[in-house]
Amino acid sequence: MERKVKSTHEYDAQIARANEANALLSNPILNEVLDKMESEATQKMIDSLDQAQRELQWHKVRAVKDFKQELKMISATGRIAAEKKKTAGSQ
């Protein structure tokens, strides 16, 4: 199967998305809010005697972790796109 070579525009779009993701990942207010949400949900999960409440809090923790992971994946994709663009430009 032949791989399709991406255009400079496609690389630029991925790099731009990565820059936005990096800005969010390094935003102190966003990180403060996400850390607080995760910490509070974890504590409520530990303290709760109700299984439904524990599960709800677990889902909140997972959502925060998944959100952060998605931003990291976008960032990594942009880094790879930048490397490929650089390699493609030097050929």
49 within domain boundaries: yes
Q: Is 15 exposed, middle or buried (0-12, 13-18, 19+ CB in 10 A)?
A: middle
30 within domain boundaries: yes
pTM for the model stands at 0.84
Say how many domains are in the chain.
Answer: 1
Reported as a single tens digit per residue, the pLDDT across 24-80 is: 999 999 999 999 999 999 999 999 999 999 999 999 999 999 999 999 999 999 999
Q: How many CA atoms lie within 13 A of 35 on its CB side?
A: 8
Q: Do residues 71 and 10 touch, judged by C-beta distance below 8 A?
A: no
pLDDT score, position 3: 59
Q: What is the DSSP string of 12-54?
A: HHHHHHHHHHHHHHT-HHHHHHHHHHHHHHHHHHHH---HHHH
3 within domain boundaries: no
73 within domain boundaries: yes
32 within domain boundaries: yes
3-state DSSP call for residue 4? Answer: coil
Q: Where is pLDDT greater, at 72 or 4? A: 72
